[in-house]
Structure 1
Amino acid sequence: MSTASGYVTPSQIEVAQFVPPPELAPFVTQFYHFRCNQRRVRDAQPAALGHIVFYLQGKGTLRFDDGQTYWNDPVSLFGPGMAHAEFDIEGPFEDFGLAMSPLGFVALTGKPAHSFADRMVGADELFGDGITQMAFRFRVARKAGSISVREMVEQTTAFLLPFIRKVPADHIELIQTVSQWISSEFDPDVEAVFAKIDRSRSTATRLIRHYFGASPKQLMRKYRALRAATVLVDPDATPEMRARVESLFYDQPHMIREIRHFTGRTPGALDSDDTRILRVWLSKDNFRQLEAYPG
């Protein structure tokens, strides 16, 4: 395909992921560095955790499922995704970012996750001008070749640590319970999570929305669809695994609707030429980073 088409070949994508330093590990699931030399990039971003993203080169827009469109700031904060988003980027493009655990989003921002679900804001709204100044330093230094990704991880960690707020121990226990429930199976039973939490149903739902950005039923739908998509893009998936994925949904139209809602593409389109970046984020090697951090 021509570079004007928006399609991306695997050779034009570089993705590297980094384990966070131990002191940040309960709050951040991973750091990552992404680079693409394409002049124009269009693809989908699957529903995932909350992120902080530094834009080092290039510019573009992100359009959420409700039609809201955002231009990228020097550094942006995304809330937890409850639907896919479409991005349109003018490259070459490079970014550096981190994914926040449910505990991390609230501890670092001091805000309820559900109030930022499917939203993108300038990170300075929550972290002040210091994070914008750091973003500009990163951008200039990357252009000059004078800063490594490791150094950006170290500087970002040092910047974020003072923002960590204390979270009540019983809330941490609830986060762990919900995370284990989400990870327990392809199609976790919604009633099972309420049975594990020693609170009223309304209080449990309120706290789950506070940390995870959505109700248990919405979380179940999200992770069921993402896991199904991960199997469908896995070249090593067996026919039995694919059949199991199909059995998770009422029927094929239901599966198509759910996977499209959370990934931006129908099952049949997941292996098309314009979903190469989406497939990177849905790959089984990366999928564990979409999971809620277990505390």
Structure 2
Amino acid sequence: MDDVLPAYSGQMVMFGRGVGRMQFDPGEISETGDALFVAPLCQARHFSVSGPAKVFGVSLNFRGWAALSGLSVHDYHDCFLQPETVLPDGLAEEFASLAPRWRNGELDDTSVLDSMAGIVRRGLSKLPEQHLTVIDRTLEWLSSSFKPDLDELYERLPYSKRQSQRLVAQFFGQSPVRLVRRYRAVRAATLLSIPDLPEEIEAEIREAFYDQAHLIKEIRFFTGRTPKRLQPDAGLPINEMLGPDGYSAVDLFGSGEAEQLRRDGLDKA
């Protein structure tokens, strides 16, 4: 497998067989081990998997990454992290032991996934209520429009503008302005992948960008694809990641598109 992953949430990954590689910076290619975390991706990244491969994973939303790792996404993003960087010593060792135990037949597939879920469950810490408020209200704000108003976000958050900017970067890895760019591109990519997209929605997408070149550049940067390549072959991970379920934390159809799609019978496309 040789493809590009879109900007996406943090992942807990175990390789039973095979090797994965991801390019984070020009000339820098990181290789997987038995157990690792993929820190949240703030832009599309090229990856490959040499098989035959068997990979198990847990996808962590913004709340989950903060509660499990305690790491600022501003400081830890677009990289592989060893288990001990994310988890307490005992849980890190348990996670690292799963691949050898699977290979020697001690654990089957279901047991590996149950073990990974158990590690996450025991590793979660309670987040302060105000931090949860920052995460949830930022997600609601991102869902409200292709171009949500920045002042509206600061009005929603229980902190000063400067503190709000710092906390948004801590939990999302990017400033509010950058987040708008990211989710505008992802929302546009998801909608443009729908066959026979209504003209009204296509026009709304184009109005959200300066011109066609800007649209293509932004979608490529955050998804790794151009608008012409937004219907990849079935079975590739990007199908799920760019679909509405893959971005369930943010309502990709939050600015009137859902109602329009229902009218046109395309909401299940």
**TM-score, normalised on structure 1?**
0.76
Specify the SS of the correspondent of 2:141.
Answer: helix
Paired residue for 1:53?
13
CA distance 1:96–1:276, shift in 2 (3 Å):
closer
1-structure distance, mates of 2:17, 2:112:
15
Q: Deviations over 1:41-93 (max 9, x none)?
A: 11110001111111222212111255532101212212221100101221223
Deviation at 1:243, TM superposition (A): 2.4
Please name the residue that 1:218 is paired with: 178
8 A Cα contact 2:130 2:158, kept in partner:
no
User: 1:121-153 CA deviation, whole Å, 9 max, x = no partner?
Assistant: 222332232211123324544xx9x6244x333
Which residue does 2:143 correspond to in 1?
183
Residues 191-212 of structure 1, C-alpha deviations (whole Å, 9 max, x = no match): 2211211321111111111111
1:50 corresponds to which letter in structure 2?
G
Q: Cα–Cα, structure 1 residues 289 and 71, in superposed 2: closer, same or farther, change >3 Å?
A: farther
Distance 1:139 1:115, change over 3 A: farther
Instruction: Evaluate the alpha carbon distance shift between residue 67 and residue 288 of structure 1 in structure 2; reply closer, same or farther with a 3 A threshold.
Output: farther
Is 1:154 aligned to residue 118 of structure 2?
no
SS of residue in 2 equivalent to 1:250: coil
CA RMSD in angstroms comes to 2.5
2:216 corresponding residue in structure 1: 256
Aligned match of 2:96 in 132, 139, 148? 132
CA deviation profile, 1:200-259 (whole Å, cap 9, x unmatched): 111111111111121111111111111111112222532332222222111111111110
- 1:21 corresponds to which residue? none
Counterpart selection for 1:208 from 158, 168, 172: 168
Distance 1:166 1:53 in 2: 23
Amino acid at match of 2:214: H
1:100 aligns with 2:64: no
* C-alpha contact (below 8 Å) 2:20/2:47 kept by paired residues: yes
Give the aligned residue type for 1:101: N
Instruction: Decide whether the 8 Å contact of 2:139 with 2:250 is kept in 1.
Output: no
Tell me which of the two structures has the higher relative contact order, counting C-alpha pairs closer than 8 angstroms and 6 or more residues apart.
Answer: 1
Kindly indicate whether residue 36 of structure 2 is the aligned counterpart of residue 76 of structure 1.
yes
Distance 1:87 1:290 in 2: 25
Distance 1:49 1:272, change over 3 A: closer
Quote the Cα distance in structure 1 between the aligned partners of 2:180 and 2:227.
Answer: 19
Question: What does residue 241 of structure 2 align with?
Answer: 281
By how many angstroms is 1:276 displaced?
A: 4.7
SS in 1 for 2:158: coil
The whole-number CA distance in structure 2 between the counterparts of 1:122 and 1:291 is 32
CA 60–162 in structure 1, closer or farther in 2 if over 3 Å, else same: closer
Quick check: 1:124–1:132 contact (8 Å CA) kept in 2?
Answer: no
Contact in 2 for aligned 1:124/1:131 (Cα 8 Å): no
In structure 2, give the amino acid aligned to 1:129.
E
Amino acid at match of 2:202: R
Q: Which among 184, 189, 192 is matched to residue 152 of structure 2?
A: 192
**Structure 1 residues 102 and 289: CA distance shift in structure 2, 3 A:** closer
Give 3-state SS (helix, strand or coil) of 1:81's partner. coil
Residue 97 of structure 1: CA displacement? Answer: 1.1
- The one-letter code of the counterpart of 2:82 is G
Equivalent residue in structure 1 for 2:4, among 44, 54, 67: 44
Q: Which residue of 1 aligns with 2:80?
A: 120
Which amino acid is the alignment partner of residue 164 of structure 1?
A: L
Secondary structure at the aligned position of 1:80 is classed as coil
